[in-house]
Amino acid sequence: MTIGDPAVVEPACRVVLMLGTSMQTRGGVAAVVTTLRESGLFERARVRYVATHVDGGRWRKLAQFAHACVVAVRALRSGTVSLVHAHVASNASFWRKAFLLWVARRFRVATVFHLHGGGFEAFAAHGFGGPVLRGCIRRTLESSDVVIVLSERWAAWVRAFAPRSRIRVIGNPVRCVCTANLSTRRVRPTGNGGRVLFLGMICQAKGTFDLLRAWARARPRIGGWRLVICGNGEAEPLFTEAARLGIRDDIEYLGWVTGDDKERELAAADIFVLPSYVEGMPMALLEAMAHGVAVITTPVGGVPDMMEPGRHGLWVEPGNVQALAGCLERLANCPELRAKLGEAARHHVLEHYSVEAVEPQLSKVHHEAVESARR
């Protein structure tokens, strides 16, 4: 998008400068932004996306951030930017966006702080810098024209931490596939086996190793089922633990999957499991629900706002391997329950988390932020 002369730019032609990680990176923020772009929002809202982060080594990341700073400042100086919308997570992500939001305010441009990442509360409490860090976070939140959070739980935390923040709760958007009654394709007869899918980072925080231990317990009663693990992270420890538990032959490891490969795995899955200890609003869980897959997860972060246990999926407490094994057995041996939960989850996501449901909320927040900055 060409940046024009501020003397001749009409307000209707102004752009939203959106900041976040590269859409080629791995993780929830990239998935959210990609969903918004593919929905056509970037064209409708005149969004110019600036990637502040890429995967790779330290110097590559620094070079990307330096480039993002140059692009952002040039755009702000041109007078064509009506709003800066920053997708923010913990650690370096916060510092990058906090700096650019501060720059935007120097140009008297409206700012939106969009909080992602289940670890942000811990980052604020225990991150490097102590009181200085907490003060910076508080000032950044309270100085933003609007703070978007993913759930009521996060809204409560921000109110307590930065009480002068102007908070709006908007869930992550997800693209809903246009195939009716997806869950009916998953009603395999009991005993014929099926596929249990995990999508995400392979690490203890995501409960990956709890899933392996639960699988080992449930295995004698779910013969013929396969555990499909898609993700990056601690792959070698995963293989070692699976071999120790005697379940290595049950596992299909596909690495990190995107695009058509991810769609294919979601379409083929009978059960989706995400037994995390920490979450914001997990995109993988929303995607599985949108595909009509019966889900098992933990009530952490924004998950309690996303679904009702027993209606849209099953819950277990983080780290409860026995309960997780029980849920696997229950769903594996009851195709009717899988179909019921999957269909209810799909309708719930269509109503509350589809792009069509979320986009008007984002547009309203953008308008509110611009009006707030003018006052």
| Pick from 234, 318, 243, 304: nearest CA to 273 | 318
Q: Is residue 6 part of a domain?
A: no
Q: Is residue 2 part of a domain?
A: no
Please state the rounded mean pLDDT for residues 179-197: 62
> Do 93 and 15 reside in the same domain of the chain?
yes
pLDDT band at 11; cut points 50, 70, 90: very low
Please state, rounded to an integer, the average pLDDT across all residues of the chain: 90
> Do 268 and 327 reside in the same domain of the chain?
yes
CA-based torsion, 263, 354, 22, 12: positive or negative: positive
Interval 312-339: pLDDT, tens: 999 999 999 999 999 999 999 999 999 9
**Which pLDDT value is given to residue 259?**
86
Domain of residue 297: give its range.
182-352
Q: Is residue 276 part of a domain?
A: yes
> Do 212 and 94 reside in the same domain of the chain?
no
Nearest-angstrom CA–CA distance, 297 and 365: 30
> Do 158 and 31 reside in the same domain of the chain?
yes
> Do 250 and 214 reside in the same domain of the chain?
yes
Q: Could you identify the residue written with the tokens 């999508």?
A: 199
> Do 55 and 71 reside in the same domain of the chain?
yes
Q: Is residue 206 part of a domain?
A: yes
**Which pLDDT value is given to residue 179?**
55
- The total domain count for the chain is 2
**Which pLDDT value is given to residue 184?**
46
**Which pLDDT value is given to residue 95?**
96
Q: How far apart are the first and last CA of the chain?
A: 29
Please state the rounded mean pLDDT for residues 363-369: 95
Q: Is residue 339 part of a domain?
A: yes
C-alpha dihedral (194, 200, 204, 208), degrees to nearest 10: 10
> Do 201 and 258 reside in the same domain of the chain?
yes
pLDDT surpassing 60 at residue 168: yes
Q: Is residue 1 part of a domain?
A: no
> Do 346 and 362 reside in the same domain of the chain?
no
> Do 108 and 191 reside in the same domain of the chain?
no
Q: What are the tokens at 357?
A: 């449901």
> Do 348 and 361 reside in the same domain of the chain?
no
Q: Is residue 242 part of a domain?
A: yes
Residues 6+ apart with CB under 8 A from 151: 169, 171, 280, 281, 301, 302, 304, 305, 306
> Do 51 and 153 reside in the same domain of the chain?
yes
Nearest-angstrom CA–CA distance, 87 and 115: 6
Q: Is residue 3 part of a domain?
A: no
**Which pLDDT value is given to residue 14?**
85
pLDDT band at 365; cut points 50, 70, 90: very high
**Which pLDDT value is given to residue 183?**
44
> Do 131 and 251 reside in the same domain of the chain?
no
Nearest-angstrom CA–CA distance, 335 and 341: 10
Please state the rounded mean pLDDT for residues 159-181: 86
Q: How far is CA 29 from the centre of its chain?
A: 6
Interval 271-306: pLDDT, tens: 999 999 999 889 999 999 999 999 999 999 889 999
Interval 95-147: pLDDT, tens: 999 999 999 999 999 999 999 978 899 999 987 778 999 999 999 999 999 99
Q: What CATH number should be reported for the domain holding residue 260? A: 3.40.50.2000
Please state the rounded mean pLDDT for residues 2-18: 54
Nearest-angstrom CA–CA distance, 19 and 118: 19
